[in-house]
Structure 1
Amino acid sequence: MQVRNDVLFHALHADGLLMLSNCGDAGSARIAAAAGSKALATSSAAVAWSHGFADGSTLPRELLMASVKAILRVSSLPLTVDAEDGYSADPAEAAALVGELIDAGVVGINIEDGGGTPALLAEKIRAIRAVADARGVNLFINARTDVYLRGVDASLRVQEVLARAALYEAAGASGLFVPGITSEDDIAAVVKATPLPLNVMLREGVPAPARLAQLGARRLSAGSAISEAMFGCVDALTRQFLDSGKVAAGPYAPMGYSALNRLMTQ
């Protein structure tokens, strides 16, 4: 009997460290799946940049949905989508968007407090959980808190993260995402004090995956790092071609036309 993707995605947070490379389109999703990813995740920045938009809830919703449906067309792996702030300050509107994502086949989301209040994110989480429950889907709601990205006093960060974690857990969150957390002591303290699986984002100073697993973190996201590297490569090669009429890939070997075509037809 096949395990439902929502059940599988929750199970992937129960033990060990789930590695999510974060894709921006169907092509990068195919690459992530072929490389052995157990699940797929979007990066809001990667999706926005792939369409020529800035990150930060500027991407038109129809393009977000088109990207999600394209990814689901090429892979049956569990998919979690970075929904940023729900693309709205209105909890009902944010929940309606997530309802569309669930209907498309998504089994997880990230939703963030960003520059808003913790109380507002809690309201959004409650509304989203109600929408998911009405559809019979155990949606993995990964509550992202930007405490470490918003200049909170370093001595108060863990305390503030845990206060928000308790609020989000009570509202129906499934996991806690703390981008910017890098200290082993801070990671261990958060893991110890909340039952929500902790998601850490790749950043300078983040412990290696094996060490994160030892500390009790349950998820490591690449965030926008792969997309940033890819666009940096595209920029350098474009300038190289315009200057010299040549394209020399440098340290990374090109996949090649035939290999890429085979991958995209699987």
Structure 2
Amino acid sequence: MIQPQSAAQLRALHDQGLILTNAWDAVSARALAHAGSPAIGTTSAAIAFTLGFPDGQVAPRDALLGALERIVRAVHVPVTADLEAGYGDDPDTVADTVRLAVGLGAAGVNLEDATGRPAWPLYPLDAQVERLRAARAAADALGVPMYLNARTDTYFTAYGESADERLDETIRRGRAFLRAGADCVFVPGVTDLDVIRRLRAGLEGPLAVMHSMDGPDAHALLRAGASRVSTGPTLLLAAMGQTASLAAQFMHAGRLPAPHSLPFGVIQEWFGGAT
């Protein structure tokens, strides 16, 4: 797929309301595409776990980008890359990270305002705006209309002294992110439908949220005003739970039950092997 066309396709999917599944390696990406996903996001947490690192921008940037490259090669649908906080505080480093991701074929990216530092968990708004402007300029220079999903962790970090203060700060940040060149504001940690309606009205622009297993279904979240609902690392966690359960049964009973599995030959063929 020609990359500018892929980026335009990703943008159109958001206009329709996108249910986005998140992959962590080539075979998970192919499985999600096989299931009918019209686009695929990467999940930095799940990629970090598969590389043997904790979440939180600890895995080396080159390793994260290597996983992105394999995912892009494995599928023929648009891929949007979770770049955490851009792997650096300064705008130049963020721009370099975006340039590398777009150069590998990413049609969109996620960039967050979480610092990972307990003393100041969120980047100051002015600093994050400059980081987003640098990201946009880096993609524009490559001639790719990258879909920039600007994440704020106001809810994950429990910003403020009240729910109203948190909502107001999320809207303040989100509106500034959109003015800086972001296409969408991503607010993970929010699944309350009324809050989503208030956020969408206050932002006056596209809103992305992350599905929670104990929250409303993705269709309800879209109806409430979200433009995009993603899975985050949930699919990896579910797969690992199933793997651990099957392994325990094998160790105890000496045999594996027959869960719903994809045939070996199907996956072998995905990657060009003889069945």
| Deviation (angstroms), 1:82 | 0.5
- 1:139 aligns with one of 129, 143, 146: 146
Structure 1: which 5+ residue stretches go unaligned? none
Q: In structure 1, what is the equivalent of residue 191 of structure 2?
A: 182
Q: In structure 1, what is the equivalent of residue 240 of structure 2?
A: 231
1-side partners of 2:33 and 2:61: how far apart?
25
Answer with 199-208 or 94-103: which moved more: 199-208
Q: Is the 8 A contact 1:181 1:206 kept in 2?
A: no
1-side partners of 2:263 and 2:75: how far apart?
22
Answer with 25-34 or 3-12: which moved more: 3-12
1-side partners of 2:249 and 2:48: how far apart?
25
Amino acid at match of 2:69: K
1-side partners of 2:59 and 2:249: how far apart?
30
Q: 1:211-251: CA deviations, max 9, x gaps?
A: 223222110000111011111222223333344433235xx
1:257 aligns with 2:271: no
Q: In structure 1, what is the equivalent of residue 72 of structure 2?
A: 72
Q: In structure 2, what is the equivalent of residue 90 of structure 1?
A: 90
Paired residues in the alignment total 263
Amino acid at match of 1:190: L
Q: In structure 2, what is the equivalent of residue 212 of structure 1?
A: 221
1:116 aligns with 2:131: no
Q: Is the 8 A contact 2:158 2:166 kept in 1?
A: no
Relative to structure 1, is the Cα distance of residues 42 and 220 closer, same or farther in structure 2, using a 3 angstrom cutoff? same
1:28-177 equivalence runs, <5 A:
28-114=28-114, 115-117=121-123, 118-152=125-159, 153-177=162-186
TM-score, scaled relative to structure 1 = 0.92
2-side partners of 1:37 and 1:144: how far apart?
22
Q: Is the 8 A contact 1:30 1:74 kept in 2?
A: yes
SS in 2 for 1:19: strand
1-side partners of 2:248 and 2:95: how far apart?
43
State the Cα RMSD in Å. 1.9
| Deviation (angstroms), 1:201 | 0.3
SS in 1 for 2:110: strand
2-side partners of 1:76 and 1:210: how far apart?
25
Answer with 131-140 or 112-121: which moved more: 112-121
SS in 1 for 2:219: helix
Amino acid at match of 1:154: A
Q: Is the 8 A contact 1:182 1:205 kept in 2?
A: no
Over the matched positions of the two proteins, sequence identity in percent amounts to 35
| Deviation (angstroms), 1:42 | 0.4
2-side partners of 1:196 and 1:58: how far apart?
32
